[in-house]
């Protein structure tokens, strides 16, 4: 079943007297356990698309349906609650709360959803251990490397068991080795938990870990690569 579906989704921005079509009638669908990369040149509409999928930005046209529920039919408060429960996201800057520890940053997402019982808090610890951060639970974000911070951000985006996880350039500030570590862990979690995952990346090498690549250009889908051979060939062009 498709967890996420968009039908002819568009977003236009008005800048002074001109109209920019940032996303232009994009239709796509993503199944449970499927990890998709959104790639394309700067300005092609990737971040705008992701923000709409996250329910953070309202489309100018078209429809976004998550778990059978159209986002556009929800009131603002319904959408906010729906987003908290069903969607997790990670951004380029990891957006961790600086004065909270690693564990507290992840537990915060449980608190926001009113699910911070003993068992859930143990799951937060277990997830951080799995992500190789077992000895950093009480560290502050500033005491961590960029890769460690991104892994905390991934733990935070996934701890409340969303059905969808979205990441915008999660490896932008990392060297290749750390980037591979972060994306491979992310892929593993998406596959193991049967989530729908979308990652925006400008680093085509990271496509090795995804199941499908959607290339955008000028707000539209230019090409979709679905076979392992095609995707790996694309990734190899960046080596
Ligand atoms: P990408 O993430 O692929 O670089 P964006 O979604 O950020 O692309 O941008 C797509 C287009 O929309 C670009 O032309 C960009 O300048 C424009 N754009 C993005 N955000 C805004 C905004 N808030 N106001 C006006 N134009 C915007
Ligand atoms: Mg962007």
- Asked if pLDDT for residue 20 goes beyond 90, the answer is yes
Q: What is the whole-number distance in angstroms between the Cα of residue 236 and the centre of ligand 1?
A: 28
Q: What is the whole-number distance in angstroms between the Cα of residue 13 and the centre of ligand 2?
A: 15
pLDDT tens digit string along 198-227?
Answer: 999 999 999 999 999 999 999 999 999 999
- Asked if pLDDT for residue 91 goes beyond 80, the answer is no
| Ligand 1 pocket check for 18: Cβ under 6 Å | no
Q: What is the whole-number distance in angstroms between the Cα of residue 48 and the centre of ligand 2?
A: 7
Which two tokens mark 83? 């987003």
Instruction: Please state the pTM of the whole predicted model.
Output: 0.93
pLDDT of residue 172: 82
Find the CATH number of the domain harbouring 99.
3.40.50.300
| Ligand 1 pocket check for 86: Cβ under 6 Å | no
Structural domain count of the chain: 1
Which residue shows structure tokens 């232009």? 24
> Which pairs with CB-CB distance under 8 Å and at least 24 residues apart come from 122-125?
123/159, 124/155, 124/159
Residues 6+ apart with CB under 8 A from 34: 190, 196, 197, 211, 212
Q: What is the whole-number distance in angstroms between the Cα of residue 7 and the centre of ligand 2?
A: 21
| Ligand 1 pocket check for 22: Cβ under 6 Å | yes
User: How confident is residue 115, by pLDDT bands cut at 50, 70 and 90?
Assistant: confident
The residue segments making up the domain with residue 40 are 2-236
């Amino acid at each position: 079943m498709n967890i996420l579906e968009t039908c002819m989704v568009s977003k236009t921005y008005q800048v002074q007297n001109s109209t920019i079509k940032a996303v232009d009638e994009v239709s796509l669908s993503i199944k449970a356990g499927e990890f998709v990369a959104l790639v394309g040149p700067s300005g092609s509409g990737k971040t705008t698309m992701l923000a709409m999928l996250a329910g953070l930005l309202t489309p100018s046209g078209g429809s976004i349906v998550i778990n059978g529920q159209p986002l556009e039919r929800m009131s603002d408060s319904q959408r906010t609650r729906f987003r908290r429960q069903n969607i997790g996201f990670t951004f380029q800057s990891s957006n961790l709360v600086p004065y909270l520890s690693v564990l507290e940053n992840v537990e915060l997402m449980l608190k926001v959803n009113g699910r911070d019982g003993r068992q859930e808090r143990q799951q937060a610890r277990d997830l951080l251990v799995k992500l190789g951060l077992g000895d950093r639970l009480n560290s502050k974000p500033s005491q961590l490397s960029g890769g460690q911070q991104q892994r905390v951000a991934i733990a935070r985006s996934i701890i409340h068991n969303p059905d969808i996880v979205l990441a915008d350039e999660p490896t932008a500030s990392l060297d290749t080795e750390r980037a591979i570590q972060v994306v491979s862990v992310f892929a593993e979690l998406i596959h193991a938990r049967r989530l729908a995952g979308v990652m925006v990346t400008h680093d085509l090498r990271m496509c090795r870990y995804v199941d499908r690549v959607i290339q955008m250009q000028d707000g539209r889908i230019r090409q979709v690569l679905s076979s392992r051979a095609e995707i790996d060939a694309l990734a190899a062009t960046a080596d």
